[in-house]
Amino acid sequence: MIYQSAQDWRDAKHKRVLFYGMSGLGKTHLSNMLRDSGAWFHYSIDYRIGTRYMGELIADNAKAHAMQVPFLRDLLLTDSIYIGSNITFNNLAPVSTYLGKPGDPLKGGLPIEEYRQRQEQFRRAEIAALEDTAHFITRAESLYGYPHFVCDTGGSICEWVDGDDPDDALLSELSKHCLLVYLKGSEAHTQELIRRFDRAPKPMAYQPEFLDGAWADYLKETGNAPDKVDPDAFIRWTYARALAHRQPRYDAMAKWGVTLTADEVAGVNTADQFEDMVASALERHA
């Protein structure tokens, strides 16, 4: 870890952290709060994915749908209108909409092979965005003059790393530049995330082996043909499994940094409180 003790952290002129954990436990809340304090640069992995690495794919997908409407097709072909995604730190919907859901096309589903292809595009994009962290640390200080840096990752980071491997390339690279901070929820938090997802299911990224197993099990359990699967029903069915699949992967990553509980994070409203909370976590780790 780049900070070996609470005192190292407190004395550091440049504080650099990376948040990871399940979606909905406070990563973006903390990141926004630190950014609003004026001294922290907020690097959003999902924003980087949607602008640098998948922006063209997202825009082309929107154009493909627009081309199916004669009125819009004529305007596009004459360069009379422009179509692009209006992605922001607080509106990352274009990324998840592009990922989509597999199943019945009449219900907005994608053929499973196209869905797998988009999952692979996202996997490569997320890894590339994570690998850009060091570049943005330098950029944040040299270009904008920010002394501190926060990397706000997506919930799927655990799918692409092996926390039990001391030589994992991506974790080794990230831990050279940032203190990895795990935001860990309780069983009650997990159940609330499941209830929230059930009310409003949204696309997410899966490890390829997990997706293949879940898809095969769902087809066997329901007896549906692939093109008759209800897309929302499938991702609702998959969500709790995905959380259970991810939990040990997050826990394995925890040894690379420090852990904060979601309850601790919920009570933090200032940068000073955050710095105290991290110092306490480093003391626990020691």
The residue assigned the tokens 């994608």 is 110
- Tally the domains of the chain: 1
Which domain covers residue 133, as residue numbers?
6-54+102-280
Give pLDDT tens digits for 222-243.
999 999 999 999 999 999 999 9
Task: Work out the angle between the directed axes of helices 187-199 and 231-253 (0-180°, nearest 10).
Answer: 150
Q: Report d(CA 276, CA 132) in Å as an integer.
A: 28
Task: Please tell me whether residue 4 adopts helix, strand or coil conformation.
Answer: coil
Lowest mean per-residue pLDDT among 88-92, 252-256, 276-280: 88-92
CB neighbours (10 Å) of residue 215? 20
Split at pLDDT 50, 70, 90, the class of 92 is confident
Split at pLDDT 50, 70, 90, the class of 83 is confident
Residues 149-166, mean pLDDT to the nearest whole number: 96
Among positive and negative, which fits the CA dihedral 56, 59, 65, 67? negative
User: Does residue 23 carry a pLDDT above 90?
Assistant: no
**43 neighbors 28 (Cβ within 8 angstroms):** no
Q: Residue 195: inside a domain, yes or no? A: yes
The CATH number assigned to the domain holding 132 equals 3.40.50.300
Task: Give residue 86's pLDDT.
Answer: 82
Q: Residue 266: inside a domain, yes or no? A: yes
Q: Residue 254: inside a domain, yes or no? A: yes
Computed over every residue of the chain, the mean pLDDT equals 94
User: Does residue 89 carry a pLDDT above 80?
Assistant: no
Q: Who has greater pLDDT, 78 or 109?
A: 109
- The closest of 105, 133, 106, 100 to 211, measured between CA atoms, is 100
Q: Residue 88: inside a domain, yes or no? A: no
Give alpha helix (H) positions in 37-132.
Answer: 45-48, 55-66, 70-77, 93-99, 112-131
Read off the tokens for 26: 């406070």
Residues 50-70, mean pLDDT to the nearest whole number: 91
Task: Give residue 7's pLDDT.
Answer: 96
Task: Give residue 143's pLDDT.
Answer: 95
User: Does residue 90 carry a pLDDT above 80?
Assistant: no
Give alpha helix (H) positions in the chain.
Answer: 6-11, 27-36, 45-48, 55-66, 70-77, 93-99, 112-131, 133-142, 169-177, 187-199, 208-222, 231-253, 262-266, 271-285
Task: Give residue 286's pLDDT.
Answer: 80
Task: Give residue 180's pLDDT.
Answer: 98
- The closest of 181, 211, 160 to 49, measured between CA atoms, is 160
User: Does residue 134 carry a pLDDT above 90?
Assistant: yes
Q: Residue 154: inside a domain, yes or no? A: yes
The residue assigned the tokens 């996202």 is 122
Give pLDDT tens digits for 115-133.
999 999 999 999 999 999 9
Read off the tokens for 150: 């926060």
Q: What percent of the chain has pLDDT above 90?
A: 80
User: Does residue 51 carry a pLDDT above 80?
Assistant: yes
Q: Residue 62: inside a domain, yes or no? A: no
Q: What percent of the chain has pLDDT above 70?
A: 100
**179 neighbors 137 (Cβ within 8 angstroms):** no
- Residue 97 burial by Cβ neighbours in a 10 Å radius (0-12, 13-18, 19+): middle
The residue assigned the tokens 């890894």 is 127
User: Does pTM top 0.75 for this prediction?
Assistant: yes
Q: Residue 59: inside a domain, yes or no? A: no
Q: Residue 97: inside a domain, yes or no? A: no
